[in-house]
Amino acid sequence: MAWIELHSERLLLRTWRAEDLRGFAALNGDPQVMRHFPSVLSRAQSDAMARRMQAHFAEHGFGYWVLERRDQPGLIGVLGLQRVNFEAAFTPAVEIGWRLQQAHWRQGYALEAAAAVLACAFAQVQLPEVLAFTVPSNLPSQALMQRLGMQRNPHDDFDHPLLPEGHPLRRHLLYRLSRDSWLEQHHDG
């Protein structure tokens, strides 16, 4: 399946290039960017994650895109869709996720890019639902999920099965957006 490239007013979501790996490793090695994840990633771990993201795209036709500004090429983050890689009450499922360089926080880039990705998910890929989840302390991501129209039911919250009992980041909040809800929100556009 061919890769889909997405465009928004200020952003381009594109396929991976070899030169993106250094910026991706810097992103994954930033303690502030990774504060809601179990740990920062080494260069080898980051490169392995990039390979998994590219393989996901090749297999499913969607995945994590490299996010760059149209006026200044180069990776500023990653944003996209992936199949949830663990078993839970809500799987099988597809989640949306994002990770941006600190210099690009609070400028609306994540919202703009995520809106383009959701439009692709529902209008092109025809997914029935997209999920997002994060830890309770990640208030910026929760706010973004809400701005995207995603809804949380506290009964859906879960303990992440890939983290051990007692881990401070084990508890996760689950947000959902159905294709029908997205179409209802965007029926004028």
Contact criterion met (CB below 8 Å) for 12 and 5: yes
- Determine the pLDDT at residue 1: 43
Q: Where are the beta strands (DSSP E) in 1-63?
A: 6-7, 11-14
Is the whole model's pTM more than 0.85, yes or no?
yes
**Mean per-residue pLDDT, 20-45:** 93
> So what CATH class is 6-185?
alpha beta
Give the C-alpha separation, 176 to 146, whole Å.
10
Peptide bond into 92 cis (omega under 30): yes
Give the C-alpha separation, 38 to 15, whole Å.
27
Q: Look over the chain and give the mean of its residue pLDDT values, rounded to a whole number.
A: 93
**Mean per-residue pLDDT, 41-58:** 93
**Mean per-residue pLDDT, 19-33:** 94
- Determine the pLDDT at residue 3: 65
- Determine the pLDDT at residue 133: 96
Give the C-alpha separation, 87 to 84, whole Å.
8
pLDDT band at 188 (very low <50, low <70, confident <90, very high): low
User: pLDDT digits over 114-153, tens only?
Assistant: 999 999 999 999 999 999 999 999 999 999 999 999 999 9
